[in-house]
């Protein structure tokens, strides 16, 4: 095998697309997926690649240093793409300690294992790619310039604070120990296999079930949406060709107010279900705003586009329509992940921590 890559969080939403992308595109790479399978991790997301000879799965915690050391040793890991995280802002408001443990201590553990394993080796042959978020930059006002890589970090939620903390550790390991790192900060993703607690899959599911569509505040908050497959391709590009020690912002220049996203989803989903146009608009329900709710995120991806070769393939409308179709044809997947079994696993797993 030409390379031996550890992908963390590969059973989650974005991670499963990244694993699929690498396993299929690089037959000469061994891909090791390390995932704890929390409520957000689901091996069904990977059933189409699970038997590929260049793929293997290890169930475990990124915060378990001995386990991570063993994986580096046994699989001769020379590249890491680190996606494992607690990722939902609303959960971070309820349990900030879990987010600090997974996102900060977990990342630190991986960095330390990589440092030990790669000490003294030529950096050109090693790479630690940390997958982060635009949320570390805080909130923009309408009309304010989009986030660029030099924008000051200003996180507001426990989630974004924990991701910011992990980004700082990644840079510290580069600057202090010379670990060959690269970071990407991406905007909101959407697409198949996203857990239906996030806005887009939650609304698709609720439209199908004729349940309320909860809009936080006035629905005026703005997010910059990118299809998850475009993100996976961007990660491939930065992992292979990004400059050592650099951060790259990734986004689709695709800003939408939440209420407009929900109205577009209603239009598409009603059409796909053969319902009268707009018949699900009555489901829109304004609810109490999220605490510390960032008003607007927008990504300036100029650096990435200038230095590297990438542009998104999915337009928002076609990407949303194919996503709606995916959810409508994967009812059983949605039922399984919302059955309560995942929530019970999650509760038991962390009950004593
Ligand atoms: P997700 O919640 O769908 O998946 C996270 C995965 O990590 C799950 O498979 C889970 O089982 C695993 N995991 C959690 N804790 C773990 C631990 N301690 N050890 C091993 N595995 C563990 O998340 P996602 O939306 O796919 O996000 C993936 C990454 O991308 C995260 O780092 C997130 O911050 C970042 N990101 C997400 C978005 C987005 O819109 N979803 C945007 C930009 C960046
Ligand atoms: P979300 O999908 O949770 O992603 P993030 O918080 O990482 O941006 O939320 C996207 C936007 O939608 C965000 O502004 C919060 C809002 N939102 C709602 O209005 N209602 C909901 O039920 C959810 C989950 C989110």
pLDDT digits (tens, 9 = 90+) for 174-207: 999 999 999 999 999 999 999 999 999 999 999 9
By the 10 Å C-beta count (0-12 exposed, 13-18 middle, 19+ buried), 287 is classed as exposed
Mutate to test the pocket of ligand 2, among 195, 198, 293 (most ligand atoms within 8 A of CB): 198
Q: Which ligand sits nearest to residue 15's alpha carbon?
A: 1
Span from the CA of 102 to the centroid of ligand 1 (angstroms): 10
Going by alpha carbons, the residue nearest to atom 29 of ligand 1 is 83
Percent with pLDDT over 70 in the chain: 96
Length of the chain: 353
Global pTM value: 0.97
pLDDT digits (tens, 9 = 90+) for 35-64: 999 999 999 999 999 999 999 999 999 999
Closest CA to 273 of 206, 334, 218: 206
- pLDDT tens digits for range 265-291: 999 999 999 999 999 999 999 999 999
Catalytic residue among 39, 55, 159, 248: 159
Q: Nearest ligand, CA of residue 84?
A: 1
Q: What are phi and psi of 198, to 5 degrees?
A: -90, 155
Band of residue 249 on the pLDDT scale cut at 50, 70, 90: very high
Instruction: List pLDDT tens digits, range 3-12.
Output: 999 999 999 9
pLDDT of residue 342: 54
Beta bridge partners of 59: 35
User: What is the tens place of the pLDDT at every residue in 151-165?
Assistant: 999 999 999 999 999
pLDDT, averaged across the chain = 95
The pLDDT of 115-143, averaged and rounded, is 94
Contact predicate 187/225, CB 8 Å: yes
Tell me the pairing of strands 213-216 and 284-287: parallel
Domains defined along the chain, listed by start: 3-188+226-252+295-315 (3.40.50.720)
Give strand pairing partners of 162: none
CA angle 277, 281, 283 (to 5 degrees): 135
């Amino acid at each position: 095998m030409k390379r031996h890559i550890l992908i963390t969080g590969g059973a989650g939403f974005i991670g499963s697309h990244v694993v699929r992308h690498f396993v299929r595109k690089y037959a000469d790479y061994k891909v090791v997926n390390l995932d704890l399978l929390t409520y957000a991790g689901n091996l069904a997301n990977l059933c189409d690649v699970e038997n590929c000879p260049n793929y293997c799965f290890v169930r475990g915690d990124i915060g378990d240093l001995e386990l991570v050391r063993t994986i580096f040793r046994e699989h001769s890991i020379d590249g890491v793409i680190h996606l494992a995280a607690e990722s939902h802002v609303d959960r971070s408001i309820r349990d900030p300690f879990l987010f600090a443990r997974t996102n900060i201590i977990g990342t630190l553990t991986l960095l330390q294992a990589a440092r030990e394993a790669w000490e003294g080796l030529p950096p050109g042959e090693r790479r630690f790619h940390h997958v982060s978020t635009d949320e570390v930059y805080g909130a923009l006002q309408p009309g304010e310039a989009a986030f660029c890589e030099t924008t000051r970090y200003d996180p507001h939620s426990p989630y974004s604070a924990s991701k910011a903390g992990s980004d700082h550790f990644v840079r510290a390991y580069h600057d202090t120990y010379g670990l060959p790192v690269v970071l990407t900060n991406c905007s909101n993703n959407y697409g198949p296999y996203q857990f239906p607690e996030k806005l887009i899959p939650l609304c698709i599911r609720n439209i199908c079930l004729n349940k309320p569509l909860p809009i936080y505040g006035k629905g005026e908050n703005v997010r910059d949406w990118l299809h998850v497959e475009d993100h996976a391709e961007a990660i491939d590009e930065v992992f292979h060709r990004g400059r050592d020690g650099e951060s790259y912002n990734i986004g689709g220049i695709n800003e939408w107010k939440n209420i407009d996203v929900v109205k577009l989803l209603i239009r598409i989903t009603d059409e796909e279900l053969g319902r009268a146009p707009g018949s699900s608009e009555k489901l829109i329900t304004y609810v109490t705003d999220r605490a510390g709710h960032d008003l607007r995120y927008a990504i300036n991806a100029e650096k990435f586009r200038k230095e590297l070769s990438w542009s998104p393939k999915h337009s928002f409308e076609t990407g949303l329509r194919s996503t709606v179709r995916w959810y409508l044809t994967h009812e059983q997947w949605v039922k399984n992940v919302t059955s309560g079994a995942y929530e019970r696993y999650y509760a038991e797993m962390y009950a004593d921590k």
